C-alpha cells in the first residue's frame, strides 16, 4: 500500500494523553500496511504562549529570533510523539523542518516553501521508520536560517511533503469531524460535507473559514494532492477535498437550497449549489473621506497601501455628491495591518488630497460560497433577505462567481451566519457538529 502523510494539529496533541492517542492511531495506520509520514503542530496553545512570552521581553518581536523561538513548540511535540510510538514497539524518528528538507525563502514569520528535498525522510521510511516532521518550519535557502510559514502553517508542511513524496493522500487531523457548512462553534446545526471541491474550499478559506488555510489548499490543488480532513478524536470519516468527488462516496442527494429557490431552476439535484457560510472577524475597515472625484485618485491611494506591503480585501467607492465632487472610498484589510495602513495614508494625504480617515475594527465579514450559485439567480436575493430578517445591516458588498460577501457590525456575526445558514436549507436535523477540543484561539 501507499504512502500516507498525516498531520495532527495542536489540540490533538495538547497533552500526554493526546500524544499517546495520536501515537496509537499512527501505529494502526502503519499496521494497515502504509508507509507513514506524520507532521505535527505544537502542543495545545504553545505557539500563542511563546508569542505572549516574546511580547513580554520585547514589544516588537519579529524576524529571526521569533522564528527560532516559535519552532521550538513543534520540536517538543515531534520528539514526544516519536517516543510514544517507540513505546508501542514501533520505530520512529523525528525531524525538524530543516532536516526534512523544507526549503523556504528568507521572509521570517511568513516564509514560502520554494523546494522540498525529503531525502532523509525517504531513508527513514526505507529503514522501516515512521517519520515525524515538525510542522510550520523550514530553512531559508540563502542564509540557512530557521523560518516559519505563518500561523497554522503545519497544514502547508503536510501538503508540501505529500506532494514531494508522491503520497496517496494527505490526512489533516483536527478537533472537528471535517469541513462543515459553517463554523460549528457558531452554528450547532452545521452539516459535515463528505466532499468539497478545491475551488469551493479555496473560497471558504479565503473568506475566513479556519479549518484549512488558503495556502495549504492552493498547494494541494497545484499538485493535485487529495486532502482528507478528519478528527483525531472520533475516528469518523471526514471531508475529502479534491478535484473530483472520490469514487465510492455515496452521491450527494440533498439539494442544498431552500425549496422556493430550488423550484426556480431546472438544475439536476445531485449537485449542491451552496457549499457553506464562512465568517471572518479579523479584518478592519478604513474609509478615506472626501476624495476628489477625478482620475488617478484610487490609483494613488492603493499605491500607497501597496508600497506598505499591505493586502486589501474589499473595496467600495461611493457615488460622489454632485455639489462637492468629493467621494468616499472604503476598503477592508487585516486588523494586524491597520496601523501601518493608516500611517501610509496619512503620509500620502497631501498628494491624494482627501479630507480625513476613519478606522473601524468592529466589523465582520460573512460570505456565502458555492460553485452552483453562478447559475442560480435566486441566491443573492435569498442571502440579503435572510440578513434583513435577522435585522442585520449591510455595510459593504462584494461578489465573485462563486461567493457573495458582506461586511456587517462585528456584534451581528453570529445571528447573521445562523440566519443565512438556515435560509439556504443547510441546517442539519440534528446537532451533529461536535467540537472535540481546542480553544479556537
Residues lying near ligand ASP in the complex (CB under 6 A) are found at 9-10, 41-42, 47, 73, 135-136, 151-154
* Cα–Cα distances in angstroms (integers) from residue 17 to residues 21, 84, 90, 94, 128, in the given order: 6, 10, 18, 19, 25
Q: Cell digits for 82?
A: 516519536
Q: Locate cell 435566486: which residue? A: 378
* Cα–Cα distances in angstroms (integers) from residue 440 to residues 175, 176, 292, 414, in the given order: 10, 11, 43, 15
Name the one range near Mg ion by CB under 5 A: 2-10, 158-166, 360-368, 393-401: 2-10
What's the half-sphere exposure (Cβ side, CA atoms, 13 Å) at 409? 7
* Cα–Cα distances in angstroms (integers) from residue 74 to residues 5, 26, 60, 97, 307, in the given order: 17, 17, 22, 9, 34
Choose from Mg ion, ligand ASP, none: what does 151 bind? Cβ within 5-8 Å by kind.
ligand ASP
In the complex, minimum distance from the CB of residue 351 to ligand ASP, in angstroms, rounded to a whole number: 38
In DSSP notation, 367-378 reads EEE-GGGGG-TH
Q: Locate cell 503536510: which residue? A: 158
Q: In this complex, which beta carbon is closest to ligand ASP, that of residue 86 or of residue 214?
A: 214
Q: What are phi and psi of 92, to 5 degrees?
A: -145, 145
Choose from Mg ion, ligand ASP, none: what does 437 bind? Cβ within 5-8 Å by kind.
none
8-state DSSP, 226: -
In the complex, minimum distance from the CB of residue 46 to Mg ion, in angstroms, rounded to a whole number: 8
In the complex, minimum distance from the CB of residue 43 to ligand ASP, in angstroms, rounded to a whole number: 9
Choose from Mg ion, ligand ASP, none: what does 136 bind? Cβ within 5-8 Å by kind.
ligand ASP
In the complex, minimum distance from the CB of residue 41 to Mg ion, in angstroms, rounded to a whole number: 5
Q: In this complex, which beta carbon is closest to ligand ASP, that of residue 174 or of residue 405?
A: 174
Choose from Mg ion, ligand ASP, none: what does 425 bind? Cβ within 5-8 Å by kind.
none
Q: Which residue is nearest to Mg ion (CB)?
A: 10
Q: Locate cell 493526546: which residue? A: 18
Q: Does position 157 bind Mg ion by CB under 5 A?
A: no
Choose from Mg ion, ligand ASP, none: what does 43 bind? Cβ within 5-8 Å by kind.
none
Q: In this complex, which beta carbon is closest to ligand ASP, that of residue 232 or of residue 376?
A: 232
Q: Largest Cα–Cα distance in the chain?
A: 81
- The rounded distance, in Å, linking the Cα atoms of 134 and 275 is 32
- The rounded distance, in Å, linking the Cα atoms of 8 and 414 is 28
Q: Which residue is nearest to ligand ASP (CB)?
A: 154
Q: In this complex, which beta carbon is closest to Mg ion, that of residue 136 or of residue 331?
A: 136
Name the one range near Mg ion by CB under 5 A: 5-13, 275-283, 322-330, 346-354: 5-13
E strands within 293-372?
315-317, 326-334, 356-360, 363-369
Name the one range near Mg ion by CB under 5 A: 40-48, 201-209, 240-248, 249-257: 40-48
Q: Cell digits for 157?
A: 508542511
Name the one range near Mg ion by CB under 5 A: 36-44, 125-133, 170-178, 392-400: 36-44
In DSSP notation, 254-293 reads S--S-HHHHTT----TTS-S--EEEEE-SEEEEEEEEEE-
* Cα–Cα distances in angstroms (integers) from residue 31 to residues 34, 90, 108, in the given order: 7, 10, 39
Q: In this complex, which beta carbon is closest to Mg ion, that of residue 10 or of residue 208?
A: 10
In the complex, minimum distance from the CB of residue 41 to ligand ASP, in angstroms, rounded to a whole number: 3
Q: In this complex, which beta carbon is closest to Mg ion, that of residue 61 or of residue 415?
A: 61
Q: In this complex, which beta carbon is closest to ligand ASP, that of residue 140 or of residue 154?
A: 154
- The rounded distance, in Å, linking the Cα atoms of 90 and 82 is 9
Q: Does position 10 bind Mg ion by CB under 5 A?
A: yes
In the complex, minimum distance from the CB of residue 186 to ligand ASP, in angstroms, rounded to a whole number: 21
In the complex, minimum distance from the CB of residue 200 to ligand ASP, in angstroms, rounded to a whole number: 22
In the complex, minimum distance from the CB of residue 361 to ligand ASP, in angstroms, rounded to a whole number: 22
Name the one range near Mg ion by CB under 5 A: 37-45, 94-102, 123-131, 238-246: 37-45
Out of 41, 207, 332, 367, the residue judged to bind Mg ion by CB under 5 A: 41
In the complex, minimum distance from the CB of residue 250 to ligand ASP, in angstroms, rounded to a whole number: 32
Q: In this complex, which beta carbon is closest to ligand ASP, that of residue 10 or of residue 238?
A: 10
Q: In this complex, which beta carbon is closest to ligand ASP, that of residue 39 or of residue 291?
A: 39
Please name every residue paired with 333 in a beta bridge, in sequence order, or none if there are none. 284
8-state DSSP, 1: -
- The rounded distance, in Å, linking the Cα atoms of 63 and 342 is 23
Q: Locate cell 492552493: which residue? A: 218
In the complex, minimum distance from the CB of residue 260 to Mg ion, in angstroms, rounded to a whole number: 42
Residues that bind Mg ion (CB under 5 A): 10, 41
Amino acid at each position: 500500500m501507499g504512502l500516507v502523510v498525516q498531520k495532527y494539529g495542536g489540540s490533538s496533541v495538547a497533552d500526554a494523553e493526546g500524544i499517546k492517542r495520536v501515537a496509537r492511531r499512527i501505529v494502526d495506520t502503519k499496521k494497515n500496511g502504509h508507509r507513514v509520514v506524520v507532521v505535527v503542530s505544537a502542543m495545545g496553545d504553545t505557539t500563542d504562549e511563546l508569542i505572549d512570552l516574546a511580547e513580554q521581553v520585547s514589544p516588537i518581536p519579529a524576524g529571526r529570533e521569533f522564528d527560532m523561538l516559535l519552532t521550538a513548540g513543534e520540536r517538543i511535540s515531534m520528539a514526544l510523539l516519536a517516543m510514544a510510538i517507540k513505546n508501542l514497539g514501533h520505530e520512529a524518528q523525528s525531524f525538524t523542518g530543516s532536516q526534512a528538507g523544507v526549503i523556504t525563502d528568507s521572509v521570517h514569520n511568513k516564509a514560502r516553501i520554494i523546494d522540498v528535498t525529503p531525502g532523509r525522510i525517504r531513508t527513514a521510511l526505507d529503514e522501516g521508520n515512521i517519520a515525524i516532521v515538525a510542522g510550520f518550519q523550514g530553512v531559508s535557502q540563502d542564509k540557512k536560517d530557521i523560518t516559519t510559514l505563518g500561523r497554522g502553517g503545519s497544514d502547508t508542511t503536510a501538503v508540501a511533503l505529500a506532494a514531494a513524496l508522491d503520497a496517496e493522500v494527505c490526512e489533516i487531523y483536527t478537533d472537528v469531524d471535517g469541513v462543515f457548512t459553517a463554523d460549528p462553534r457558531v452554528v450547532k446545526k452545521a452539516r459535515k460535507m463528505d466532499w468539497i471541491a478545491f475551488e469551493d474550499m479555496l473560497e471558504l478559506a479565503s473568506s475566513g473559514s479556519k479549518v484549512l488555510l488558503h495556502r495549504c489548499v492552493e498547494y494541494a490543488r497545484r499538485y493535485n494532492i487529495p486532502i482528507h480532513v478528519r478528527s483525531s478524536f472520533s475516528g469518523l470519516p471526514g471531508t475529502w477535498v479534491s478535484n473530483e468527488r472520490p469514487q465510492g462516496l455515496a452521491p450527494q442527494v440533498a439539494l442544498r437550497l431552500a425549496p422556493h429557490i430550488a423550484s426556480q431552476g431546472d438544475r439536476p439535484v445531485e449537485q449542491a449549489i451552496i457549499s457553506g457560510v464562512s465568517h471572518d472577524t479579523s479584518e478592519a475597515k478604513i474609509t478615506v473621506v472626501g476624495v476628489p472625484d477625478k482620475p488617478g485618485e484610487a490609483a494613488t491611494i492603493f499605491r500607497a497601501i501597496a508600497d506598505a506591503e499591505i493586502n486589501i480585501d474589499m473595496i467600495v467607492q461611493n457615488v460622489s455628491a454632485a455639489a462637492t465632487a468629493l467621494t468616499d472610498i472604503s476598503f477592508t484589510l487585516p486588523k494586524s495591518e491597520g496601523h501601518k495602513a493608516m500611517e501610509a495614508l496619512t503620509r500620502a494625504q497631501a498628494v491624494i488630497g482627501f479630507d480625513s480617515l476613519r478606522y473601524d475594527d468592529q466589523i465582520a465579514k460573512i460570505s456565502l460560497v458555492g460553485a452552483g450559485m453562478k447559475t442560480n439567480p435566486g441566491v443573492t436575493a435569498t442571502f440579503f433577505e435572510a440578513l434583513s430578517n435577522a435585522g442585520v445591516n449591510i455595510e459593504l458588498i462584494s461578489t465573485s462567481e462563486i461567493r457573495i460577501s458582506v461586511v456587517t457590525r462585528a456584534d451581528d456575526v453570529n445571528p447573521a451566519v445562523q440566519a443565512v445558514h438556515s435560509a439556504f436549507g443547510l441546517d442539519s436535523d440534528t446537532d451533529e457538529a461536535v467540537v472535540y477540543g481546542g480553544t479556537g484561539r
